[in-house]
Amino acid sequence: MAFVITEPCEIEKAGECVTVCPVDCIEEGKSQFYIDPDICIDCAACAAVCPVDAIVEEYDLTPEQEPYLEKAEKFFQNR
């Protein structure tokens, strides 16, 4: 399981999540930040500091939010 950054990040793109992540699994993309699902340790530190509540646990994603997990996976596959 991992956390996923969703649509509100595309609007705000604040970045507090990057500084609190203990395993440095969050990277900035062109339109939003992404969490590497292979590195995330599910500590929820990022979700706690996100000012726009853009970070959701993978298993709590709504059908509308599921494409954000796919976007994160593709972002890190292309590295």
Angle at 47 between CA 41 and CA 26, to 5 degrees: 55
Specify whether the CB–CB gap between 58 and 5 falls below 8 A.
no
Q: Is it the case that residue 78 has pLDDT exceeding 80? A: no
- Dump pLDDT digits (tens) for 48-57: 999 999 999 9
DSSP string computed for 15-30: -HHHHH-TT--EEE-S
Query: Is the full-model pTM beyond 0.85?
Result: yes
CATH of domain 3-77: 3.30.70.20
Cα 51 from Cα 32, distance rounded (Å): 14
Q: Is the pLDDT of residue 24 over 80?
A: yes
Instruction: Please report, rounded to a whole number, the percentage of residues in the chain having pLDDT higher than 70.
Output: 96
- When the pLDDT of each residue in the chain is averaged and rounded to a whole number, the result is 94
28's enclosing H/E stretch is strand 26-28
